[in-house]
Amino acid sequence: MSKKGIVFYFHVHQPFRVRHYSIFDISNKHDYFDQARYDYHSKCNNEMIFKKVADKSYRPMNALLEKLVKEHPDFKFSFSITGTFIEQAEMWAPDILESFKRLVKSGKAEIVSETYYHSLAFFYDREEFSRQVAMHRAKIKEVFGVDTKVFRNTELAYNNELAKWADDNGFEGILAEGWDPILEWRSPNFVYRPVGTSNIKLLLKNYKMSDDLAFRFGDKSWKEWPMTADKFDLWANESLKDQEILNLFVDYETFGEHQWSDTGIFEFFDFFVKKWLSRNDTTFYTTSDAIHSFESSGEISMPYTVTWADTERDLTAWLGNSMQQEAIKCLYEIENDVLRTEDTELISDWRKLQTSDHVYYMCTKWFNDGDVHAYFSPYDSPYDAFIYFMNAIRDIKWRANQINYNKVVK
Amino acid sequence: MNILMLGWELPPHNSGGLGVACYYLARALSERGANIDFVVPYSAKHPNINFMKIHSATPLLPLYKFGMGAYDGYSTNTALSPDEKYDLKDIRGVQRKYIKFVEGFVKKHKPDVIHAHDWLTMEAGMRAKALTNAPLVIHVHATEFDRSGASSGNPIVHDIEYQGLMMADRIIAVSNYTKKIIVAKYGIPADKIEVLHNAIDPDSLNLDYFCDDNTYKYIDELKQQGYKIVTTVTRFTVQKGLSFLMKAAAKAVEKYDKLVFLFVGDGEQRNELIQMAADLGIADKVFFTGFVRGKHWRDAYAISDIFVMSSVSEPFGITALEAAHYNNALIITKQSGVSEVLGSIFKYDFWDVDKLADEIVNIALSPALEGSLKSNIKNEYARISWGDVADRCMNIYKNMVSMNSGRSKL
């Protein structure tokens, strides 16, 4: 019988934020993602943000993981690393990419598959979606020399159809939110099989304990504050009583960026790993290990899309209002014209606009309540996010028309 | 609690927002048990005011509350003696008379709190405080720095404002923007200043009013043809930043032709603006209504799609809330108080002509954006009520009274 285990899965991502791209830039400038040239200190400056988060989070956490991997042979975990993140790391922090490579090379870190551009293409265009998954797979192979076997969709947006797609495309596992209305009496702490599939297995996020780390860890008004390694160890043990795996899925930036270093998050993690491995009956798994170590304990069906966001766990943060719907409609409407150009730079710009963060910045559901602090965005308002994005799309359209027209003329 | 309130105007004898704000604040305060004596510098009936006592400091008609001028007032103010006419020929003369009246008044009626609005009544407030030892609240709706735009302003007014702010026991500012000016320009400690944003009373806007028989027939026709109507309602002075709006109008029209600009109001910049529209080649797209009241005023809001408040410096800016009520998308400068309380709007720096043009064109181009702005703002402006403002004002009074009684016992 396999040991009880924790599956840490860290989501590593950075979008290419659209700069304050004005209607007067259309047809003149095509540098949608280069705010740095205009206002270095803007919150839309991708380079500045990447370097800031690199210092606060990626470097110290990578260093800690490298240390832990050396100290504890049984310490394992998984990453999802987006294509847009890798591109940014290549430009602005190659040392971080080297560190990720060492971690993967150690055999203790698995890389999970997803769309290269962190997009919602699955819900709009199945072919484009498949192309982006293939692009990501190729990029991971090129950079890390490994193949991906387990799939996670952007924002953990999951439904039965997605599971079927992943199963048909040879994935061994897939990740989703362990949402109570779906699970009912069942626990997320087992391996499941998605309904209507033959081989693939499903890992469900234990959101309560994941959120204890990701959102509540440094919150001094939380009644459990301060969280300690001993306490978390106790909770994890309780959670796993008579159960198998504890899936802790969190944004990688939890470490150092969402929870600052002074909350003690790094020390906590260091102590916790040590503590968890100090017994004989508990260990860590990568996502693939977990799937191979345990049999499915039942079927799970999610006919409607479930994500890992908000209390609603749906897609409304990305597609809930009319601006978001219009933006994404305009984006996918021009697909044929864009792909027809065969212009790699144009196509890549168009795909960078598919990153889900862009429509997330247009979300008004918190903004309306006057709770602007919940509005996590580099823009002044959702409305500003909308117009810069729409202006960029208009320019993409203009470029595509230019190129396609010239092709015909030739 | 007896409040001596010192103001310069009340509806219907008001020339701007000051009178409106004083009216609603006083009404809400009286509903909360405040017994208000309100002093105005003119003699006239206030048919809608029965919740407080209004006292006239001079026999002047409301028209002459800023002084009669050397010639103007003589023929129409036949009731005045030649000496009175001489004394009241300018604003300082009216203020002297106002102070005299207040001095006499407080000998008979000792107030618990003195509440003075703007520089016009600050001297009277200080005199009343000196004579009665009652605490003094100075309520700042605008400073001389706001009124003078880029120029330095009237040194006498600056002196009065400085003294008043120094002598006040407590200062109320209508926005954080105004509070910052008071701290930065007059060196007043920030903790002496409380920010109380103005509110809007929906009843005052005639909720049942519909625009089916609009005054602006020609513009209505353009609207039927698909034009978007961009409106500003304001005094045409440098402080309002209208030349920036005019430049933005020209730039916007370059990108999107079906726009019409409605300039509602009057002021010394009128001719300059008409000339400017012609020079920019958009004279056919800019309409000047002159100064309007009543139905013409309401119709201007009602026919408009986009409302711009382009002020260079605007302590609050209640017209924005009125425009929101009439279903406008709002674009407001960051240099305004009202932008502090609203989220579902575009905010721009008054000099940023490109951004303003970009926002106008994008709203015109996108029904989703226009719809979101219009409907989301409606959930916001109604949250701000005069009742809440008055609650906080009562608390200020109570704190001052208890501190004051403590002081006199020593």
What's the rounded Cα separation, in Å, for the pair A79 and B241?
53
Confidence of residue B150 (pLDDT cuts 50, 70, 90): low
Total residues belonging to chain B: 410
Cβ neighbours of A323 in B, within 8 Å: 366, 368-369, 372
DSSP state of B167: H
Residue type at B314 in one-letter notation: E
pLDDT of residue B178: 95
ipTM, 2 dp: 0.87
Chain A residue with minimum CA distance to B357: A23
Full DSSP string of A82-149: -HHHHHHHHHH-HHHHHHHHHHHHTTSEEE-B--TT-B-GGGT-HHHHHHHHHHHHHHHHHHH-----
Confidence of residue A265 (pLDDT cuts 50, 70, 90): very high
CB contact, 8 Å: B358 with chain A? yes
pLDDT tens, position by position, A208-235? 999 999 999 999 999 999 999 999 999 9
pLDDT of residue B293: 75
What's the rounded Cα separation, in Å, for the pair B329 and B320?
10
Cis peptide before A94 (omega within 30 of 0): no
- What global pTM score does this model have? 0.88
CB contact, 8 Å: B253 with chain A? no
Q: Measured between CA atoms, how close is B166 to chain A, in angstroms?
A: 35
Cβ neighbours of A387 in B, within 8 Å: 358-359, 362, 369
Q: What is the mean pLDDT of residues B130-139?
A: 96
Cis peptide before A226 (omega within 30 of 0): yes
Q: Is the pLDDT of residue A83 over 60?
A: yes
- Within 10 A of B58 (CB to CB), how many other CB atoms are there? 22
Chain B residue with minimum CA distance to A23: B358
CA distances from A354 to A117, A157, A341, B91 (A): 7, 15, 18, 63
A 333-372 near B (Cβ less than 8 A)? 364, 367-368, 370, 372
Q: Measured between CA atoms, how close is B305 to chain A, in angstroms?
A: 16
Q: Please, what sign has the CA dihedral across residues A35, A41, A43, A48? A: positive
CB atoms B357 and A23 under 8 Å: yes
Confidence of residue A104 (pLDDT cuts 50, 70, 90): very high
Full DSSP string of B318-362: THHHHHHHTT-EEEEESSBSGGGT--SSEEE-TT-HHHHHHHHHH
CB atoms B358 and A321 under 8 Å: no
- Within 10 A of B26 (CB to CB), how many other CB atoms are there? 25
Q: What is the mean pLDDT of residues A97-105?
A: 98
pLDDT tens, position by position, A131-153? 999 999 999 999 999 999 999 99
What's the rounded Cα separation, in Å, for the pair B107 and B132?
8
pLDDT tens, position by position, A161-176? 999 999 999 999 999 9
Most distant CA atoms of chain A, gap in Å: 73
Residue intervals in chain B for CATH 3.40.50.2000:
2-199+385-409, 202-381
What's the rounded Cα separation, in Å, for the pair B76 and B79?
8
Task: Please report how many Cα atoms fall inside a 13 Å half-sphere around the Cα of residue B350, on the Cβ side.
Answer: 17
A145 φ/ψ angles, rounded to the nearest 5 degrees: 70, 25
CB contact, 8 Å: A390 with chain B? yes
Q: What is the mean pLDDT of residues A23-48?
A: 93
pLDDT of residue B205: 63
Contact B180, B160 (CB under 8 A): no
DSSP state of A194: E
pLDDT of residue B208: 47
pLDDT of residue B207: 47
Pick the range with the lowest mean pLDDT from A288-292, B203-207, B218-222, B355-359.
B203-207
CA distances from B133 to A272, B312, B397 (A): 66, 39, 14
DSSP state of B67: -
CB contact, 8 Å: B255 with chain A? yes
Chain-wide mean pLDDT for chain A?
A: 95
**H helix or E strand, kind and range, residue B220:** helix B217-224
Contact B18, B147 (CB under 8 A): no
CB < 8 Å & 24+ apart, contacts of A166-173: A166/A200, A167/A194, A167/A197, A167/A198, A167/A199, A167/A200, A169/A130, A169/A133, A171/A113, A171/A200, A172/A199, A172/A200, A172/A201, A172/A288, A172/A291, A173/A149, A173/A200, A173/A201, A173/A202, A173/A203, A173/A287, A173/A288, A173/A290, A173/A291
What percentage of chain A exceeds 70 in pLDDT? 98
Chain B residue with minimum CA distance to A329: B368
Cβ neighbours of A384 in B, within 8 Å: 346
CATH topology of domain A4-300: 7-stranded beta/alpha barrel (3.20.110)
**Residue whose C-alpha is closest to residue A337's, from A405, A281, A400:** A400
CATH 2.170.120.40, domain B2-199+385-409, yes or no: no
Cβ neighbours of A331 in B, within 8 Å: none
pLDDT of residue B78: 60
Which of A367, A368, A390 lies at the smallest CB-CB distance from B366? Answer: A390
Q: Is the pLDDT of residue B336 over 90?
A: yes
Q: Is the pLDDT of residue B313 over 70?
A: yes
Q: Is the pLDDT of residue B292 over 90?
A: no
Q: Measured between CA atoms, how close is B106 to chain A, in angstroms?
A: 44
CB atoms B366 and A24 under 8 Å: no
Q: What is the mean pLDDT of residues B317-331?
A: 91
3-class DSSP state for residue B27?
A: helix
Q: Which of A110, A114, A128, A155 is catalytic?
A: A155
Q: Measured between CA atoms, how close is A225 to chain B, in angstroms?
A: 33
pLDDT tens, position by position, B63-103? 888 877 655 555 555 667 778 887 888 889 999 999 999 99
pLDDT of residue A370: 46
DSSP state of A158: B
Contact B174, B198 (CB under 8 A): yes
What's the rounded Cα separation, in Å, for the pair B246 and A152?
51
Cβ neighbours of B347 in A, within 8 Å: 380-381
Q: What is the mean pLDDT of residues A39-44?
A: 90
CB atoms A367 and B357 under 8 Å: no
Question: What tokens does B252 get?
Answer: 């916007």
- Residue B28's Cα: distance from chain center in Å? 18
CB atoms A386 and B369 under 8 Å: yes
What's the rounded Cα separation, in Å, for the pair A229 and A238?
14
Which of A23, A321, A370 lies at the smallest CB-CB distance from B380? Answer: A370
At the second CATH level, the architecture of B202-381 is 3-Layer(aba) Sandwich (3.40)
pLDDT tens, position by position, A241-251? 999 999 999 99
Which of A20, A23, A323 lies at the smallest CB-CB distance from B255? Answer: A23
Residue type at A176 in one-letter notation: A
Q: What is the mean pLDDT of residues A384-404?
A: 97
CB contact, 8 Å: B385 with chain A? no
What's the rounded Cα separation, in Å, for the pair A238 and A8?
17
- Within 10 A of A342 (CB to CB), how many other CB atoms are there? 11
Q: Which residues of B308-324 are buried (b: 16+ CB within 10 A; e: fewer)?
A: bbbbbbbbbbbbbbbbb
CB contact, 8 Å: A323 with chain B? yes
Question: What tokens does B400 get?
Answer: 């001052």
pLDDT of residue B216: 84
Pick the range with the lowest mean pLDDT from A245-259, A281-295, A338-352, B67-81.
B67-81
Q: Measured between CA atoms, how close is B344 to chain A, in angstroms?
A: 7
A118 sits in the region (left: phi over 0; alpha: psi -120 to 50; else beta) called left
Cβ neighbours of A363 in B, within 8 Å: none
Which of A20, A23, A364 lies at the smallest CB-CB distance from B376? Answer: A364
Cβ neighbours of B359 in A, within 8 Å: 387
Chain A residue with minimum CA distance to B370: A323
Contact B85, B77 (CB under 8 A): yes
Which of A20, A24, A368 lies at the smallest CB-CB distance from B379? Answer: A368
CA distances from A270 to A7, A175, A235, A284, B209 (A): 16, 25, 17, 14, 66
Which of A23, A368, A381 lies at the smallest CB-CB distance from B358? Answer: A23
| Strand partners of residue B103 | none
Confidence of residue B13 (pLDDT cuts 50, 70, 90): confident
Q: Chains A, B: CB contacts under 8 A, how many?
A: 72
Q: What is the mean pLDDT of residues B327-340?
A: 94
3-class DSSP state for residue B112?
A: coil
Confidence of residue A367 (pLDDT cuts 50, 70, 90): low
A 5-24 near B (Cβ less than 8 A)? 20, 22-24
Q: Give which of B369, B370, B384 to mutate to test A binding, by max A Cβ within 10 Å.
A: B369
- Within 10 A of A122 (CB to CB), how many other CB atoms are there? 22
Question: What tokens does B334 get?
Answer: 């960051």
What's the rounded Cα separation, in Å, for the pair A348 and A329?
18
A155 is catalytic: yes
pLDDT of residue B276: 97
3-class DSSP state for residue A242?
A: coil
Q: Is the pLDDT of residue B260 over 70?
A: yes
DSSP state of A67: H
Q: What is the mean pLDDT of residues A21-36?
A: 95
CB contact, 8 Å: B55 with chain A? no
Pick the range with the lowest mean pLDDT from A94-98, A355-359, B129-133, B338-342.
B338-342
Residue type at B180 in one-letter notation: K
CB atoms A24 and B354 under 8 Å: yes
CB atoms A323 and B380 under 8 Å: no
Show the CA angle centred on residue A295, arms to residues A293 and A299, nearest 5°: 140
CB atoms A23 and B371 under 8 Å: no
Cβ neighbours of A382 in B, within 8 Å: 372
Q: Is the pLDDT of residue B152 over 90?
A: no
Could you tell me the end-to-end alpha-carbon distance of chain B, in angstroms, rounded to an integer? 22
pLDDT tens, position by position, A183-206? 999 999 999 999 999 999 999 999
CB < 8 Å & 24+ apart, contacts of A217-222: A217/A254, A217/A259, A217/A263, A217/A265, A217/A268, A218/A259, A218/A260, A218/A263, A218/A264, A218/A265
